[in-house]
Structure 1
Amino acid sequence: MTRTPALLRPAVPADLDALVELHTRARTAYYRAGGLPAADIDTPDGPARRREGWARSIRSATRTVRCALRDDTVVGVVAMGPPLGSGNEARTVGELYQIHVLPGQWGLGIGGQLHTAFVRFLRDAALPTGRVEAWERNDRARAFYARHGWRPDGHRRPGPAGACYVRMRLDPDAL
């Protein structure tokens, strides 16, 4: 596989099938690697829920979704926007909702490109802090974020298989 940069562009409704497939394959890989039993990785309505979630994100006026393409194939996606939940952090925090790269494309720099798009989003919006959550058994994602300057902030919430989601923060000015 080559390390040539992927083309990044805004996601459009025509990307929905590719985004659902990409998201399904990526989450299956990281949950399986984290020891989650196959029967617990997805539910029959999972693809439909992911499709609706991606459709909402693409249509949203407050969320940004970018696709990474190689040879006209969606091989990665990043979704970002204001923090989820309540509070007045929207003036200071941008949330990285999801980064997914097609498992066969891991290690080729696509995740780094998508991360750079998130950092650009923070800077363009003059947001001093980035926030993301990663499943604590997703060692690959946590190592990726650590390499890119993210640090745990102490907040955790319950996740599957008794493993928590760990929240991390990024100061883009420190990069």
Structure 2
Amino acid sequence: MIHDRVKGLRVIRTALSAEAERIAALHRRARSTYYPDGLPDDGIDWTAAWRAAVERPDGHVLCAVEAGVITAIASFRTPEGAPAETVKLFQFHVDPGHWRAGIGTALHTACLEQWRADGKRTAVLDVHIGNRRARAFYARQGWGPDPEHPPADGDHHLCLRYAVSGE
């Protein structure tokens, strides 16, 4: 489990189940920025999905909190069927009102610390192809295209990979 990390008023900690509604709202605000025609109706109850993610015994949901407000979230775990040393970053969102304040970088660093503590060697993620801001952020953090999963024709996501162990 991640211990609280304090930098000024920022704390990065494990999310609580009771925060699922606030996390889902942040998720919607962040996702809406890269869908020019509005968020697609995916039929998912995101509050329930986030509550389930927080309560998963095999997963982690971290949140950045500033002055009592959740400003960023990250959800990760080893995906079913993947090697134990692989972790997938399923969700990573910074509230748009807090972009360019170092929150994403701090949360990414906390994820890396947890992955290393858990003995992970490789991290993977899918990023929406139209989310240029996220793609640039991941590139700055050292993520690159996943050679094992090249983009398919018509796919709206790119698969990225990160060498957690630094190798």
The alignment partner of 2:48 has SS state of helix
Q: Percent identity?
A: 30
Partner of 1:30: 34
Does residue 68 (structure 1) correspond to residue 64 (structure 2)? The answer is yes
Change (3 A) 1:158 1:23: farther
Change (3 A) 1:44 1:145: closer
The one of 21, 37, 47 aligned to 2:25: 21
User: 1:37-81 deviations in whole A, cap 9, x for unaligned?
Assistant: 22xx232845xx111110111110001011111110111111111
The alignment partner of 1:108 has SS state of coil
Contact 1:5/1:109 (<8 A) preserved: no
Distance 2:102 2:129 in 1: 23
Distance 1:133 1:44 in 2: 17
User: 1:89-114 deviations in whole A, cap 9, x for unaligned?
Assistant: 23220111111111010010111111
Partner of 1:42: 40
Number of aligned pairs?
Answer: 160
Partner of 2:159: 167
The alignment partner of 1:91 has SS state of coil
Contact 2:78/2:87 (<8 A) preserved: yes
AA aligned opposite 1:168: L
Shift of 1:156: 4.8
Structure 1: which 5+ residue stretches go unaligned? none
Give RMSD over aligned pairs: 2.2
Distance 1:14 1:134 in 2: 27
Does residue 90 (structure 1) correspond to residue 80 (structure 2)? The answer is no
Shift of 1:10: 1.0
AA aligned opposite 1:27: R
Structure 2: which 5+ residue stretches go unaligned? 1-6
TM-score between both structures, scaled by the size of structure 1: 0.83
The alignment partner of 1:30 has SS state of coil
Does residue 7 (structure 1) correspond to residue 39 (structure 2)? The answer is no
Distance 2:9 2:104 in 1: 11
Partner of 1:117: 110
Partner of 2:51: 55
The one of 116, 120, 128 aligned to 1:127: 120
Partner of 2:141: 148
